[in-house]
């Protein structure tokens, strides 16, 4: 393994100040507050954001509801124009916002920019969607009647996002919610308030341009609530929020889901993933090596789609796994802002502690661990850089069955495709999956009903990463929610079935007779 050269990482606080000013954040918004922002690159404090009180949060949600009552009456193509302008602002500020993402989350530069590109892509998708919110004309059994379904705006859309994609997840939901006619209330992760401030400022710019062009847009169309779990609970429990899209751990989903169900609100839950890949005898091992390495080590293992379990056929195990180990030993770990680094830091000490506990548990059940130790970097004593860990396991047991949000890859051997599919599916989570094969039958079996039970199933690419054109989400303890792609917009709207009688008689359905004397 190669680390970046030992050197002092200069203070990032001044750069954060400059970036926020460039992105339009008002001076003082990130100073003097109680919510402390730190960069995982050095561990230093980069801002102090002002939190809202419980009472303030409730007032802001009420304002968002009032905004919805106006926004729902704006034609959808005009609503799409606002999202188009948001996309323009994101394009113009991609470099600055991408840099801020890298600083606040610890992503390498290309991943920070890639996150902003996801925002741009979903804006483009949503703008087109603004003219495609189609209903259906339905065949009716009654003569001189027409039956149809139409879709209406739902209401305030609550968004609770996680640290690992601090702005893309907001945009996945916000762009669709806005074109569907909803207002939005966002509770960002406490670990990433600065990128939320920047995104809020860019949306405000787009909204001002929309208004200057004559667009009818109410105040409080988009609201950001900074705070901890108590603020998230207010959003979840508020009766004027009919939909909450929540991204985070399965434990978070178990808390959020029942509370929403208790008041019959809708939920889009994007929760944990314990994603697996299968390497078959016919796999292109060069392609597989790159696919596995990125999926397992990219973003320091802090993606919900990170590859965490790898099943390698016994006939290629002794060829492929040594090559994979060499990749683990040679990958460059260090300051993600510097060219050449491929693996940046974990988000904080809590993530590092969870990783070490999982590795200890793996050793306790016979796992052989390569890597996993902390990497020292000059000027970053309070940051948590680690070597990605490759753990050879004889069986899928102990920590292998649980998601640890860190770069740990559990590697196991297999002999039979049917048996490995059973192992693949025998975990509580069901987000993303992949198979590496040049055998058409194996590929099609993996994608069939008896194959992967995940919401995302890939062939000859890893499970990590997704395009906004496809619905994103998973099954089982992953929560069942879907964002982006095909008909995901329907989650942000309510459906009404309409029947119109254009005749002069009143036939009843199912031949019912009700004739008055």
Reading the block at residue 497, the tokens are: 């079935």
Reading the block at residue 393, the tokens are: 């396991």
Comparing CA positions, the residue from 208, 186, 206 lying closest to residue 197 is 186
Spatial separation of the C-alpha atoms in residues 254 and 271, rounded to whole Å: 10
In Å, what is the CA distance from 473 to each residue of 291, 433, 451, 506?
20, 12, 17, 46
Spatial separation of the C-alpha atoms in residues 30 and 278, rounded to whole Å: 46
Spatial separation of the C-alpha atoms in residues 47 and 29, rounded to whole Å: 9
* Residues 402, 403, 409, 411, Cα dihedral to 10°: 30
Spatial separation of the C-alpha atoms in residues 212 and 103, rounded to whole Å: 34
Spatial separation of the C-alpha atoms in residues 39 and 337, rounded to whole Å: 12
Q: Say which of 51, 89, 270, 403 is annotated catalytic.
A: 270
Reading the block at residue 42, the tokens are: 């050095």
- H-helix or E-strand spanning residue 412: strand 408-414
Cβ-proximal residues to 388 (8 Å cutoff; 6+ apart), any chain: 296, 297, 300, 301, 328, 331, 343, 371, 372, 407, 408, 409
In total, the chain counts a number of residues equal to 517
In Å, what is the CA distance from 44 to each residue of 37, 302, 381?
9, 20, 10
If one counts every other C-beta atom within 10 angstroms of the C-beta of residue 398, the result is: 17
Reading the block at residue 163, the tokens are: 């640290």
Spatial separation of the C-alpha atoms in residues 144 and 274, rounded to whole Å: 54
Cβ-proximal residues to 304 (8 Å cutoff; 6+ apart), any chain: 162, 164, 247, 270, 271, 272, 273, 431, 432
The strand pairing partners of 408, in sequence order, are 389
- Are the C-beta atoms of residues 492 and 154 closer than 8 Å to each other? yes
Spatial separation of the C-alpha atoms in residues 394 and 363, rounded to whole Å: 11
**Is 270 annotated as catalytic?**
yes
The strand pairing partners of 146, in sequence order, are 500
In Å, what is the CA distance from 29 to each residue of 54, 186, 358?
19, 17, 38
Spatial separation of the C-alpha atoms in residues 120 and 90, rounded to whole Å: 6
Report the Cα 483 to chain-centroid distance in Å.
Answer: 8
Residues annotated as catalytic are 270
């Amino acid at each position: 393994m190669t680390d970046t050269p030992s050197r002092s990482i200069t203070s990032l606080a001044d750069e954060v100040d400059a970036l926020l000013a460039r992105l339009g954040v008002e001076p003082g918004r990130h100073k003097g507050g109680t919510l402390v922002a730190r960069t995982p690159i050095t561990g230093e404090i980069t801002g102090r954001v002002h939190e809202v009180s419980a009472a303030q949060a409730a007032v802001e949600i009420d304002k968002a509801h009032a905004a919805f009552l106006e926004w729902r009456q704006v034609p959808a193509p005009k609503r799409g124009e606002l999202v188009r302008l948001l996309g323009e602002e994101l394009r113009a500020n991609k470099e600055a916002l991408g840099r801020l993402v890298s600083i606040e989350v610890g992503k390498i530069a290309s991943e920070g920019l890639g996150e902003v590109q996801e925002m741009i892509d979903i804006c483009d998708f949503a703008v087109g969607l603004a003219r495609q919110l189609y209903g259906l004309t339905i065949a009716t059994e009654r003569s001189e009647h027409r039956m149809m379904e139409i879709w209406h705006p739902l209401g305030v859309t609550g968004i609770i996002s996680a640290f690992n994609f601090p702005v893309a997840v907001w945009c996945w939901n916000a762009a669709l919610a806005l074109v569907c006619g909803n207002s939005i209330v966002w509770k960002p992760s406490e670990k990433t308030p600065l990128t939320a401030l920047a995104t809020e400022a860019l949306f405000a710019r787009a909204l001002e341009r929309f208004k200057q062009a004559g667009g009818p847009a109410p105040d409080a169309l988009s609201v950001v609530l900074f705070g901890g779990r108590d603020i998230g609970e207010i959003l979840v429990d508020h009766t004027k929020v009919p939909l909450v899209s929540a991204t985070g751990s399965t434990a978070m989903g178990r808390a959020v889901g029942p509370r929403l169900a208790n008041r019959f609100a809708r939920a889009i839950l994007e929760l944990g993933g314990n994603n697996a890949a299968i390497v078959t005898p016919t796999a292109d091992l060069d392609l597989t090596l790159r696919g596995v390495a990125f999926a397992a080590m990219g973003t320091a293992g802090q993606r919900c789609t990170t590859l965490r379990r790898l099943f390698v056929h016994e006939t290629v195990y002794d060829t492929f796994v040594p090559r994979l180990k060499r990749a683990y030993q040679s990958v460059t770990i260090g300051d993600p802002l510097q060219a050449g680094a491929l693996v940046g830091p974990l988000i904080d000490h809590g993530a590092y502690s969870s990783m070490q506990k999982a590795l200890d548990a793996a050793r306790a059940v016979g796992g052989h661990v390569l890597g996993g130790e902390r990497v020292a970097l000059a000027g970053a004593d309070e940051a948590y850089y680690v070597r990605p860990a490759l753990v050879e396991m004889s069986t899928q047991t102990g920590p292998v069955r649980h998601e640890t949000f860190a770069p740990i890859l559990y590697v196991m051997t297999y002999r039979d495709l049917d048996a490995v599919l059973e192992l693949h599916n025998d975990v509580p989570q069901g987000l993303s999956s992949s198979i590496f094969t040049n055998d058409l039958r194996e590929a099609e079996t993996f994608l069939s009903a008896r194959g992967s039970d995940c919401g995302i199933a890939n062939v000859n690419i890893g499970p990590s990463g997704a395009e906004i054109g496809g619905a994103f989400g998973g099954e089982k303890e992953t929560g069942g929610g879907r964002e982006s792609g095909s008909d995901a917009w329907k989650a942000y709207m309510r459906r009404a079935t309409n029947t119109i009688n254009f005749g002069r008689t009143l036939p009843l359905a199912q031949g019912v007779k009700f004739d008055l004397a």
